[in-house]
Amino acid sequence: MVYMMRDRDAMARMIERCKAARCSALVLGMLGARRHTFRNLVGHVEEVTDVKSLASWTNEQFDPQLSWADVESVKRRWGS
């Protein structure tokens, strides 16, 4: 599952990681009431080197303004 981030380059790298891992599907998630962990981003996003920097980056990056154009962009990058 990927979440829409303001850093669209980071989004592109995450999608490419999913493709390289030969994932058969990509799920674009929305944040809800459930607690999430994002440790798989450490080392794959610039400036994220540990859990503290990950927390800071995550707080800055979640994009609550997800639009249908964003969804279409992710779909094109995924290749569907």
Cα 22 from Cα 63, distance rounded (Å):
26
Among residues 42, 13, 15, 46, which one has the least CA distance to residue 28? Answer: 15
5 with 63: CB under 8 angstroms?
yes
Contacts of 59 (CB under 8 A, 6+ apart): none
| pTM score, whole prediction | 0.60
44-75 pLDDT tens trace: 677 777 778 877 877 787 777 778 898 899 89
Among residues 26, 30, 40, which one has the least CA distance to residue 73? Answer: 26
3-state secondary structure of 3: strand
